[in-house]
Structure 1
Amino acid sequence: MEFPEALAVYIHIPFCRWRCSYCDFNIYAGMQRWFAPYIEALGKEIRRFGERAGRPLARTIYIGGGTPSLLPLPLLARLFEALHEAFRIPPGIEITMEANPRGLSVAYLEGVRQLGVNRISFGVQSAHPGELRLLRRDHTFEEACAHIAMARAAGFANLNVDLIYGLPGQPLHRWQETLEAVLALRPEHLSAYALIVEERTALHRWIREGRVPAPDPDRAAEMYEWTRDRLAEAGYRHYEISNWARPGHESRHNLVYWRYEPYIGFGAGAHSFIDGRRWMNVLHPKIYIHRIEAEESLIAEEEPLDPRTQMAEMIILGLRLVEEGVEDARFRARFGHGIVEVYGAVIEGLEELGLVQWNGARLRLTGRGLLLGNEVFWRFL
């Protein structure tokens, strides 16, 4: 495999206090005694990659989960030691860490910042107690506000807040109240996701049993359109389907994914994409640790992607970028063909439906296409 000179770096911390009702991520509760062995294994994986790849440049670093903020500072420090050994980390790159707004302190957040983290992403989800209970969140909105104030006091000038709308039985006005309450906190970045009820979640079971009503997709669409207007009025740039930022605070790490550029993932269940090949590590932390100690392969799944699949994925991911879309020059430089040469008939059909716009240099979703993204995406596969 040929390694690029620069890579976005993702690190998965799979530990949580408990599983939220909507969550189907690769996370595990009640595993505190495995924190230190996991970080030890993670450091080995990171260092081994750095040796193989020739200590590449880190473009961005994202520590996600799970709940990375459960880790004590000394374990985070060991993680950063491994990162500095394996990668060249230039000053000023975006280093994000996800955090749960409960149980932290200014001293902890100052320690995180001293390690190099300069962007915190708080999972807030709602401002309403009943909705937080439905989602099985372990914090209140007041705690979220207090933790955002702590992060400011610790010196963080780049904060994201994650929110979920389209909840079962949620009226428009209650979502509006949540968004207004969060806007008062003045985060630099907002991620607002329509609830997707995944199988094998508590929420899916409750809906199936009739204990909770199913989400209303028409109401969720109404919430989305109102959100776009309100955040534009508040000075946020709508740069990706579910993401808004004050100018200059777009997530540099996530832009790597949407632009279909290479990234390396470390940890249990982490995904990587390099040189036309995608792979995923084993899911369970105990199996991950065992394989590291036994120096066995961590790969649970891998897929070499043929050029046609890569073309489709670049279009689908790039269309998520509201203003940028997919640039024909970048597509042609990568594949040797222009977008219309490959997808002319598909684009023509989608233009007739009013779902995309093509100006000869760039393909983008229309406002209607933003609401019907899946209808657009499957046509490129």
Structure 2
Amino acid sequence: MTVFSLYLHIPFCRHRCAYCDFNTYSGQEDLIPAYVEALCNEIRQVGRTAPNRLPVHTLYFGGGTPSLLPAEAIGLILETCRASFEVLPDAEISLEANPGTLTLEWLQTIRRLGVNRLSLGMQSAHPEDLRLLERQHDFFDVSQTVRWARRAGFENINLDLIYGIPFQTLARWEATLERALGMFPEHLSLYALSIEHATPFYHWVARGLLPPPDDDVAAEMYEKADAMLTQSGYLQYEISNWAIRREGRLWVCQHNLQYWLNEPYLGFGAGAHGFVEHLRTANVRSIRAYIERLQTPAQLPFPLTPATEQTQTIDPLTEMQETMMMGLRLTQEGVSRQRFEQRFHRSIEEVFGPTIASLVNLGLLEWRGERLCLTQRGRLLGNRVFMEFVDISAP
């Protein structure tokens, strides 16, 4: 049975951070009620046009800052999802939150409503880093939020961290990791800072006000993190993600696994993307335009809605390439030879044989039984490996 995932984009922020290029907006919180109504309308329309009552095993509130929504709005969105789709009883329901925007009462309420995974944007434990990133919290806010989340009944907490920040030393990065580990999260996501076009960071680097990221320092920080997290019992299951085995389960992010396995998901909200039935969709990015488009019901073919701005049909070769690039991010699982053949009715070697052989010879890929995986060196050069699967003609 094919199971689906739902991504719910909440594009509101109190302040847009200097490094962020996500589809987020500050100063538009007055539009939240109308936006929630539009989001629910979009969910209902897709539910009505779906070929059947789709089974859903993960939901993800991303942003932006979903924790800016009133708890009642979270409840209404979840109620709409449950009415429109077959949300499975054990579904993983994640919500991104910024420390400093939460209260214990709010956390208790959303936990009762069914949210069972919390992802906190910690980023760093040090005020110097947080000021440069223009984050609106400090480490006390993070530790307090984790304490409140535990009291509210959350057993699945992720912390996001950023490394390779200008002027960040290896010692400061180690201290951030130690403080994060001291809160015993089930999951950690570690991202190297990237300078995205049109962000304040981009302009600061271009004007010489900040040094560009140092790839060698970032690689050293990445290796240090892997060593520290492994020593603390965490398993690196994806290039940027670590999970701990606790209470008989490995606390991986099931929603992100849907992306990495290139399985179907529906995207709702301003700027949200989806992938279903060999079709990629992208919604209009503007909050006001999104709200306006969803004010008039329309009977469009599944999975389109009035908010859909772009579509792209994915041909079989492209889907195979994307499956390789995404699947190889999974450091333990990699790409399964059997799963690939069942999905595409062709063997991996038939489609990508010379590319795989070359990358194996370079020490970037290796076969582990029936699974093709990145080597330790390959993890540091992941983008190079992935690009090798792009420039391939149909065999």
Under TM normalisation by the shorter chain, which class is it? Answer: over 0.9
Other-structure match for 1:169: 167
Give the superposition deviation at 1:213: 1.2
CA apart distance, 1:316: 0.3
5 Å-filtered alignment, 1:183-198, equals: 183-198=181-196
Secondary structure at 1:90 match in 2:
strand
1:169–1:215 Cα contact (<8 Å) kept:
no
* Percentage of pairs with the same residue: 48
Correspondence for 1:281: 283
CA contact (8 A) 2:122 2:161 kept: yes
2:293 counterpart residue number: 291
Q: Give 1:5 shift.
A: 5.4
Distance 1:5 1:350 in 2: 32
Q: In the alignment, residue 310 of structure 1 is paired with which amino acid?
A: E
For this pair of structures, how many residues does the alignment match? 378
Deviations 1:260-311 (A, max 9, x none): 1100010011111011111111111110111111346221111101111000
Structure 1 counterpart of 2:266: 264
User: 168-177 or 320-329: which moved more?
Assistant: 168-177
Distance 2:109 2:369 in 1: 49
1:189-238 deviation digits (Å, cap 9, x = unpaired): 00000111101111111111111111111000001111111111100010
Q: C-alpha separation between the residues in 2 aligned to 1:5 and 1:254?
A: 16
Q: Structure 1 stretch 237-246 or stretch 53-62: which is displaced more?
A: 53-62
Instruction: Look up the match of 2:88.
Output: 90
Please show how residues 21-32 of structure 1 align to structure 2 within 5 Å: 21-32=18-29
Distance 1:308-1:7 versus aligned 2 partners, 3 A rule: same
Q: Which residue in 2 is equivalent to 1:40?
A: 37
Work out whether 1:377 is the aligned partner of 2:383: no
Moved over 3 A (4+): none
The amino acid that maps onto 1:288 is Y
Task: Provide the C-alpha distance between the structure 2 equivalents of 1:15 and 1:103, rounded to a whole number of angstroms.
Answer: 12
Amino acid at match of 1:374: N
| CA deviation after TM superposition for structure 1 residue 90, in Å | 2.2
Matches of 2:368 and 2:332, distance apart in 1: 12
Q: Which amino acid aligns with 1:254?
A: N
Q: 1:84 to 1:355 in 2, by over 3 A?
A: same
Question: What's the RMSD between the two structures over aligned residues?
Answer: 1.1
For residues 98-127 of structure 1, the C-alpha deviation after alignment (integer angstroms, 9 at most, x for no partner) is: 011013111110001011000000001000
Partner in structure 1 of residue 144 of structure 2? 146
1:343 paired residue among 343, 352, 366: 352
Q: Does 1:306 align with 2:315?
A: yes
Provide the TM-score with structure 2 as the length reference: 0.94
The answer as to whether partners of 2:67 and 2:101 remain within 8 angstroms in 1 is: no
Scaled by the length of structure 1, the TM-score of the pair is 0.97
**SS in structure 2 opposite 1:167?**
coil
Which segment is superposed worse, 179-188 or 5-14?
A: 5-14
Alignment correspondent of 1:66: 64
Matches within 5 A, 1:324-339: 324-339=333-348
Q: Which amino acid is the alignment partner of residue 23 of structure 1?
A: C
Secondary structure of the equivalent of 1:323? coil
Q: Does the residue aligned with 1:92 lie in a helix, a strand or coil?
A: strand
Task: Kindly provide the amino acid, as one letter, of the partner of residue 121 in structure 2.
Answer: G
Residue pair 2:57, 2:90 contacting (<8 A) in 1 also = no
Aligned partner of residue 77 in structure 1, secondary structure: helix
Shift of 1:80: 1.6
Counterparts of 1:77 and 1:343, CA distance in 2:
46
The equivalent of 1:355 in structure 2 is 364
Contact kept in structure 1, 2:236 and 2:242, CA below 8 Å? yes
